[in-house]
Amino acid sequence: MVKGRKLPVVGGGTGVWSFCHVDDAASAAAVAVTGGAPGVYNIVDDDPAPVSEWLPELARVVGAKPPLRIPAWMARPLIGEHGVSMMTQVRGSSNAKAKRELGWEPAWPSWREGFRSGLG
């Protein structure tokens, strides 16, 4: 979708997303199963970022043209209210509890490094 410019920045792209490399998800699950207290843990990187920041960078890394930008009102009929909210209002997650209670640390602490080195 990114290479085909089919994933635009909607509105101001102010929705903040958190990312997680599959290796980090696996390592966190292993730690939680073998020694973690029951509960909910956010397994994400240390670097939540707005769509307007991460999507153009992802396009650059994969060799695509920059994403198109469209107003929220134009995107709403195509992706619905939830889709618009994901692109404009959602807030990233914190991994502080997983780090504190599980002693877990992401091997990929930032989506920036993950995009550059972890997509292959």
Tell me the pLDDT tens digit for each residue of 70-120: 999 999 999 999 999 999 999 999 999 999 999 999 999 999 999 998 776
Across 55-73, average pLDDT? 97
Question: What pLDDT does 106 receive?
Answer: 97
Classify residue 36 by its DSSP letter.
P
Across 24-45, average pLDDT? 94
DSSP string of 10-31, one letter each residue: ETT---EE----HHHHHHHHHH
Which CATH number does the domain 9-117 belong to among 3.20.20.70, 3.40.50.720, 3.40.50.2300, 1.10.486.10? 3.40.50.720
Residues in the chain, total: 120
Question: What pLDDT does 13 receive?
Answer: 98
> Considering the entire predicted model, what is its pTM?
0.90
Question: What pLDDT does 120 receive?
Answer: 65
Question: What pLDDT does 119 receive?
Answer: 78
Q: Is 63 exposed, middle or buried (0-12, 13-18, 19+ CB in 10 A)?
A: exposed
Question: What pLDDT does 118 receive?
Answer: 77
Closest C-alpha among 46, 50, 30, 15 to residue 111: 46
Q: How far is CA 52 from CA 14, 57, 98, 112, in A?
A: 6, 9, 27, 14
Q: Which two tokens stand for residue 93?
A: 């997650």
Mean pLDDT of the chain: 95
Classify residue 40 by its DSSP letter.
-
Residue 67 has pLDDT above 70, yes or no: yes
Across 28-53, average pLDDT? 95
